[in-house]
Amino acid sequence: MTLQDLPADHAGYDVVWATHALYALPPDELDAAAERFVAALAPGGLGLVAQATAASHYLAFYDAFRAGVREATPYTTAEQVRDALTRAGADVRDQRVTYTTGTSDRGIAEGFLQRCAFDDSVSLEEMEAAPVLGEYLASCRDASGSYTFSHEAALLWL
């Protein structure tokens, strides 16, 4: 269920988690969703959010996609989620995980980037030719043409 649908009067879940699930949470709903997340935890319960940080490929790519291909609502960052959880009264611990993904196969790169954009109608060629996004994607390629994407995710523990 969405955080917005989480019953406001139910506190008692031993575990509440959101794993890469809050990107499209509207910014004006973030504080209310964080309050529901915190309130749903039983005393001594565990809350966990895994979310890409502002430095991650996912957010950098999507910002460039929005600027160069299609306008859309920006993704919510781990930093925004952490701050909202803190405002909701949670004691949040923030652990960072970094990793890279990459490929020299253009079909795999296209499919991956389409999933990052939540848009399978845009081709890799269109993305590479787009203003802003094309520059970002060029910065992710090495001399052989292979793509490498750098990721950073925050593991937020409550």
- Report the pLDDT averaged over residues 118-132: 95
Domains and CATH numbers, the chain: 3-157 (3.40.50.150)
Question: DSSP letters of 4-65?
Answer: GGS-TT---EEEEEEES--TTS-GGGHHHHHHHHHHHEEEEEEEEEEEE-TTSHHHHHHHHH
Is residue 24 pLDDT above 90, yes or no? Answer: no
CA distance 150 to 102: 9
Per residue in 68-80, pLDDT tens?
Answer: 898 888 889 999 9
Residue-wise pLDDT for 49-65, tens only, equals 999 999 999 999 999 99
Average pLDDT, the chain: 92
The answer on pLDDT for 6 being more than 80 is no
Residue-level pLDDT at 11:
66
pLDDT tens for each residue of 101-110: 999 999 999 9
Residues 92 and 158 sit within 8 Å (Cβ to Cβ):
yes
Backbone angles phi, psi at 151, to 5 degrees: -120, 145
Residue pair 142/109 in contact by the 8 Å Cβ criterion: no
Q: How far is CA 128 from CA 5, 45, 65, 68, 111, in A?
A: 39, 46, 10, 10, 14
